[in-house]
Each structure stands twice: as structure tokens, then as C-alpha cells.
Structure 1
Amino acid sequence: MSAFFFYTLFYILISGCIIYPPTEFVSAGLTIKDIFSNWLGNENEFFVQYHIKRSVITLFVHSVLPCGYTFGLVLFGHIDNISVLLSHVNVWSIFLACSILMPVYTLSKILIWSMNNWKKHPIAKNLAVYCNSSNNNNNNILWTTVASDINVEYQRIDKVILTTNSITCVIVTDNWIIKVLPYKIMVAHQNDTALIVNRSDTHEMSPTTRGEVQFINIEVKPTRAGSQPFDIRLNVFDFKNLQDKVSRPIIILQNITFHKTLLDKFIDNFKQQVQENPRYEYAEELNQCIGCMQASSNVKLHKQCSSGIGSGNPEDCMICYCRPMWCIDCMAKWLVHDIYNFFECIVLKFFFLIGLHQDKMKMQTWLSSQCTCPVCRVRFCILDVCLIQLI
């Protein structure tokens, strides 16, 4: 009996890796599209036809998995264990019948789809919606015209491919938004499609660190009659790539907040840390921030950390005697020295050329890093950044 349960557990594990392949399987080329690559052809040349073939072979392989389990029971002599386990019910007979009928039904469905150049396949039906013809028969024939347009655009190097997981990806070309799923692809033409960010969620990467990952859900709503809406779930740092490629504005609902870039995420963490620092009492009138010239200067570099006390080390934090001239957002951007600040903060442009550039891919180290004052160049850390309290 233990061998039977071990076999069952092993088969469930392997089936799960086939249906939803982990990173190790993808890297080793043990996915359906890699194993059947010779039959599927070249995705870059015939994108739509490739995914029609991929969808049918994926569907058939998944339908065969229960039958494979049954065959393994017979092959390894576990039928007696099944008979004892299910002696009082007829579940085994039902499972055996379903495991045989499932691939047979799937195969018959695939044969029906393949008639007349796959015109009855779900992917072909999705593309037929975008045929500029009122005749349904012509739509079923002319779906290949839409497929050719998509194939041509997919061959261009400026397309954007966003991989959401091992079985799903989003492709954005000049005119099309395409979501690739295991059994089909969803398409929407950009000219008649609305994009709405309707949800965001944040997940802690580790309970012991402040690292987190944020995802957003974008609803793609085509207005073409007969088209189907679908959702796109992305990491927030892929949002900018999507936004730059689509020709339609992406609507963000008022109650949805998320970090559009890595810089936004850092600024939020920077503000959160500065809020915990002591306030700096200031009696004079505050001027506008010389970085953005929009907000009032609301931070002062006031030494709070213990580094440099009696050491004389020039690498330690020092006392800054400059008056408050910066807002908290510009101070955070100065610490990051993101390249986009060349356009966002004109006054900082000169300082960026000579400043210390932090490694933007190591956000965990930013809050513990040192930087230099934009004016007097003395070193400071985030503990020395204090919000101003007027007295």
C-alpha cells in the first residue's frame, strides 16, 4: 500500500510540473512547447499558427494525464490496492471510464477544430471578430488576414513581452494587445480597447525584511462587438513598459495606489523612515524647494547618527550648515540619483553629474547608504534627514 501512495504522490507532483512548470523545468526545456518544438514550428514567423498548434497539443497532453495514471497503476501492479481501497463504491470504474473518454473526446474536438484551416478553433474565432466583414462565413475565412497582421507585428523588434508566469505572458505590438494562455490567446485591438487598472495587491517577500512585491490587475475591455474582455496581472515595475507601448491611455481608478516605478517605491520607503526621525525646529520663513520649485522646502540635514564622533574619518557623516532648501521628494531623488531626474529636477542636473550614484537594483541598501549634501558636499545618511517643524 505504501508503494501505491508513493506512486500517486509522485504522479501528482509530475502532473503539476507539466501543467504549471516551475522555473527548473522551464530552464531544462522540459515544457510542452520545448518537447514538441519541431512540430510547432517557429513562433517568430507564424505566431498565431504556432499558438494554435501549441494550444491543441497542450490540451491533449493534459487530457492524457488521468489515463497515464491508470496505465501506471496497471503497469506497476497496484490494481489490487485500488480494489481494496474502493471495494464498497464504484469510484474506480467511473475514474477508469473518464480517464479513457477524456483523451478520446479531446482528440475528437481537436479534429473538429482543424477542419477548414482551423476556422472553428477558439483562437480563430477570437480573431474573426476583427475581420471587417458583416458576413459570418467570410469572417471564418478571413481570420487568417488578421492572423497575418499579428504575425507581421510580432516579428518587429519593438514589441513588448511581459512574462507574468510560466504559462502566461502578455505581448503588446503596435496595434494589438495579446494575452497568451495555455489553451488559447486573447486579443484586443488598441484602437477600440479601454485599459483600466482596477486592483492592486502587495505581498511581503519575507516576514523578516521590508522587501515586498506589488502587483496590479488591468482590465482590457475591447469595444468591438463579439470580442471578449480579459485581465492582465503585472508586476508594478512592468507597468511603465506597458504604458509606453500602448497607444491608449491607461485609466487608474481613484482608489488604486501603487508604485509605478522603482523610484516611487524608494521615495515611499524614504518618507516612512524620515517620519520616524526627530523633527528639526525652525523659526524662519521657508522658501520653495530649489529642486522642483513647486513644494515648500520641508527637510533639513541635521546630524543625528553616531558615526564620526571623535573619529575624524572623512567617510563619516558630518554636520551640514546649509539652510533648508529642499523638499523631501527631491531629497529622496537626490539620494537615488535616478537618471530620470535629469528631466524631473532641472536644478539637480548639475549636481547629478558630480554626485554619488547609488545602485538602483539594491534598494535594501539605499536606506543605509550615505550621500553628500547637494550644496556643501558633507556626507549624511537617512537618519540625518529631519522634517521641519515651524516654531
Structure 2
Amino acid sequence: MLCVRGTANMERPEVTFTLAYVVFVVCFVFTPNEFRSAGVTVQNLLSGWLGSEDLSFIHYQIKRTSATALVHSILPLGYYIGMCFAAPDKNLYFVHIASEGWKLFFAAAVALPVLSSILVFYWSCNKWGNHPIARTLADHALPQSGWRAVASSINTEFRRIDKFATGPPGARVVVTDTWVIKVLTYRVHVAQQQDIHLTVTASKQHELSPDSNTPVQFLTISVASVNPRVQPFDIRLNSAEYGELREKLHAPIRNAANVVIHQSLSDLFLETFKSHVEMNTRYSLPRGQELETCIGCMQVMANMKLVKVCQDASEGECQQCYCRPMWCLTCMGKWFASRQDQQHPETWLSSRVPCPTCRAKFCILDICVIH
């Protein structure tokens, strides 16, 4: 009898609607990949008003957080309206004759978007100067400037292709040449690189990654600024991205928790690759020849040259490369790793790959550091 009654309750329209609406709200607020692919997000639904994030990052985030607060505040009222159709016997169409509980819910559901609208209107005054993001940027502004100057700096750096970006939309991390930014659903944290101290505080190991069958480690890094007006915050990222993050940061990352950071296979190989190359014969740059910037990263000077040291001239062996020094050791190591069989890392050091410029085959013994 109890089982029959429980089944009957589950088949009632209001129960079914409630469960379906709860699932929708959770997915709409936290946005899984399926909803994002279907375009059921605040960013996609209001893309025409929000504009382009790449063109104006800060103003996009100001509008996005405001729109998100408004849209999310309407969700309880949407549930009430839906229940008017799912449970007509409750007389929710006429609030004055509904039960006391539904009257309170309706009052809260109406008050929430009204208060959100007033708050967003206040934020928009003074050309969005009252928005929390604007006030956050004002903490970084020079005395003779304002938050818009800081916004312009961030917008310019965000448009560059060499920025570091990772994380889901609700907790995205962006690192530019000057700024460390964490983008949340309702707010944005900003810190200036020259003012921050970074500390690895925790790590969490997952046996399987959602995108592959390999274990994955997530690191939690605390970002604290010497500016007392800047609130500290945490960033979370895959340990495989740790090396790329360090390259973009100017400040060192302190490992206070003594966390063993598991780097990616390519990062581990790059360290081994560099240590082996350091033992090779050095290359002396001819008199009058000047080094140029590495064409791979455009960040450092080229510091290596391919010189054939193998004496065997048989087919498939190393070949002489006549290219001038154009690559740094790090970029050459990344190129070397990218040409390998990812399923057999034990063969990487002994393999041969083509020069990225002239395609002459070389091995790790042919890589000479310039001195």
C-alpha cells in the first residue's frame, strides 16, 4: 500500500514539475557542458546586449554579472508561474486565496527580482562606476586616474593571444602580462602581478580525468596582494598547466603545503631533454653573426644550433642542418616532444625528428647550446 501511494505521489504533476524545475535551475546556474553546448546560458541568451568579451573584457564582465544576477533572481518566480499550470487545484492564479505558505513564496519571488533590478540600476549609475568590479579596479588605479584606466589596461592585455587562461566558466583564471584575474559567476577578482604573493596551499588527486583515462591532479594556489584593499583569493588549476602558469607569472610560487606537483609527460620530458642537451658539445657563434629572437615563442633569444655529430650517413639517420640559430632550447624541446609517439615515451630520447625549418633529421645529440 505504501509503495502504491509513493508511486502515485511521484506521478502527480506538481511533483514531476518540481523535480524537473530543480534540475533545470541547477543546470542553468552551474551550466554543465550539455547546457553550454545547447546555448542555454546567460551569455548566449543575451549575447547581443553583452557584446564581445575579446573587444572589451571588463565591460563585458560588468554586464554579464549584472545580467546573471537579474536572470537568476527571476527563477523562483518562474517556478511559481509553472506551478500555476502544474497544480491548478492549489488556486495559485489568485494569490489572495492561496495558502499562507504560497503567499509568502510569491512575495519573496516577486521581491527578489525587484530588489535585483534596483541593485543593478544603482550599479549602472555613473556609467557603471558603482559596480563592484569598477570598485575593485579602483583599488588598483593611480591617484591621478580612475578605474577606467585600469579597465583599459586589462582590456588591451586580454586581447593578446599569449595570455594564460584556464578553468570552467564559473571559475575561470586569466593571467596576462600585468594582471591575475579570476572570473566567477557574480564577481571578478583582480590582482596586479607586481604586488602578489602566490602559494600552493592544497592539491587534490583524481584517478581519472573527464577527458582522458589518465590520473589528474588539481592544485589550489592562494593569491595574496600587498595592497591591503585587494581581497585575497584562490585559483584552481590542473597540475599539467602549472608549468605554463609559471612561465606567465613574474612572481615565484611558494609551495607552503609541500605538495608534490605531478607535471604532464611533456613537461617531465622537457626537463630531461634540457639536462641531456646541456651535456652536448657547445656551439660557438661565428664572429660577426648576431642572435635573433626565437621564432617559436618570440620571448627570448635563440640559444641553440643543430650540428650533425653522427658519423653514420646511412638512410634515415641524422642529416646536416644549415639553418642559422632561430630557436630557443625550450621551444625546440616542445617541438621534439610533439613529434613523438605519445604511447611510447620510452623511445623519445633515442628518436630522430625533422628540423622545424628545413626538415633535416636530427637526434638529441645534435642539439648544441650556443655559448
Map of 1:302 onto structure 2: none
Aligned CA RMSD, in angstroms, stands at 3.2
Map of 2:274 onto structure 1: 343
Map of 1:156 onto structure 2: 160
Map of 1:283 onto structure 2: none
Q: In structure 1, what residue type is equivalent to 2:148?
A: T
Q: In structure 2, what residue type is equivalent to 1:4?
A: E
- Contact conserved, 2:201 with 2:257, CA < 8 A, in 1? no
Shift of 1:3: 1.2
Matched, 1:97 2:143: no
Greater mean deviation of Cα atoms: 171-180 or 150-159: 150-159
Matched, 1:56 2:91: no
- 2:207 corresponds to which of 204, 218, 224: 204
Map of 1:246 onto structure 2: 249
Q: Go from structure 1 to structure 2 and tell me whether the alpha carbon gap of 1:188 and 1:156 turns closer, same or farther (over 3 Å shift).
A: same
SS in 2 for 1:99: helix
TM-score, normalised with respect to structure 1: 0.65
Q: In structure 1, what residue type is equivalent to 2:272?
A: N
Q: Go from structure 1 to structure 2 and tell me whether the alpha carbon gap of 1:373 and 1:344 turns closer, same or farther (over 3 Å shift).
A: closer
Matches within 5 A, 1:134-283: 142-162=146-166, 164-205=167-208, 211-262=214-265
SS in 2 for 1:345: helix
Shift of 1:166: 3.6
Cα distance in 2 for residues equivalent to 1:45 and 1:112 = 25
Matched, 1:116 2:134: no
Cα distance in 2 for residues equivalent to 1:168 and 1:255 = 25
Cα distance in 2 for residues equivalent to 1:36 and 1:150 = 23
Cα distance in 1 for residues equivalent to 2:341 and 2:192 = 39
Structure 1 unpaired stretches of 5+: 265-332, 375-391
Cα distance in 2 for residues equivalent to 1:254 and 1:71 = 51
Shift of 1:344: 2.0
Q: In structure 2, what residue type is equivalent to 1:242?
A: L
Q: Deviations over 1:303-343 (max 9, x none)?
A: xxxxxxxxxxxxxxxxxxxxxxxxxxxxxx7xxxx355331
SS in 2 for 1:53: helix
Q: Deviations over 1:235-278 (max 9, x none)?
A: 111111111001111111253222133357xxxxxxxxxxxxxx
Structure 2 unpaired stretches of 5+: 1-8, 282-308, 311-316, 319-335, 351-371
Q: Go from structure 1 to structure 2 and tell me whether the alpha carbon gap of 1:6 and 1:254 turns closer, same or farther (over 3 Å shift).
A: closer
- 2:341 corresponds to which of 338, 355, 359: 359
Cα distance in 1 for residues equivalent to 2:105 and 2:133 = 31
Q: Go from structure 1 to structure 2 and tell me whether the alpha carbon gap of 1:29 and 1:359 turns closer, same or farther (over 3 Å shift).
A: farther
Q: Deviations over 1:5-58 (max 9, x none)?
A: 111111111111110111112122221101111100111111100100000001
Identical aligned pairs, as a percentage?
Answer: 36
Q: In structure 2, what residue type is equivalent to 1:224?
A: N
Q: Go from structure 1 to structure 2 and tell me whether the alpha carbon gap of 1:5 and 1:225 turns closer, same or farther (over 3 Å shift).
A: same
TM-score, normalised with respect to structure 2: 0.69
Cα distance in 2 for residues equivalent to 1:45 and 1:342 = 39
- Contact conserved, 2:68 with 2:186, CA < 8 A, in 1? yes
Map of 1:21 onto structure 2: 31
Cα distance in 1 for residues equivalent to 2:349 and 2:55 = 54
Cα distance in 2 for residues equivalent to 1:166 and 1:233 = 13
Map of 1:321 onto structure 2: none
SS in 1 for 2:243: helix
More contact order relative to length (CA 8 Å, sep ≥ 6): 1
- Contact conserved, 1:201 with 1:214, CA < 8 A, in 2? yes
